[in-house]
Amino acid sequence: MDIIPVIDILNNQVVRAIKGDRDNYKSINYALYNSTDPRDIIDQIARKYSPKILYIADLDAIVRNTINFELYDNLLSSYPRINFWIDSGLKDIKLKKKYKNYYPVFCSEKSKGYELTSNKFNNCICSFDFMGKYLGKKPIFRHHRLGSSKIILMDLLQVGSKNNINYKLAKRFIRKNNHTYYIAGGIKSMFDIKRAKYFGASGVLISTMIHQNKITKNMIQKEKTSPNNRAG
pLDDT tens column, 31-88 = 889 999 999 999 999 999 999 999 999 999 988 889 999 999 999 999 999 999 999 9
CA 75 – CA 67 distance, rounded (Å): 14
Cα atoms found within 13 Å of the Cα of residue 32, Cβ hemisphere only: 22
- At 225 the pLDDT is 58
- pLDDT at position 31: 87
Domain residue ranges in the chain:
2-224
Q: Contact at 8 Å (CB) between 41 and 7?
A: yes
pLDDT of residue 144: 52
User: Element (H or E) spanning 128, and its range?
Assistant: strand 125-130
pLDDT of residue 182: 95
Distance CA 122, CA 2 (A): 22
User: Among 22-36, 198-212, 218-232, which range has the highest average pLDDT?
Assistant: 198-212
Q: How many residues make up the chain in this entry? A: 232
- Write down the pTM of the prediction: 0.88
pLDDT at 231: 42
Residue 56, beta-bridge partner list: 7, 86
The CATH T-level fold of domain 2-224 is TIM Barrel (3.20.20)
Task: Give me the chain's average pLDDT, please.
Answer: 85
Whether the per-residue pLDDT at 166 is higher than 90: the answer is no
Report the C-alpha gap between 21 and 212 in whole angstroms.
20
Tell me what pLDDT residue 230 has: 42
Per-residue pLDDT at 122 exceeds 80: no
Q: Which candidate, 21, 81, 94, 89, places its Cα nearest to that of 59?
A: 89
Contact at 8 Å (CB) between 23 and 30?
no
Residue 204 has pLDDT above 50, yes or no: yes
The pLDDT assigned to 226 comes to 55
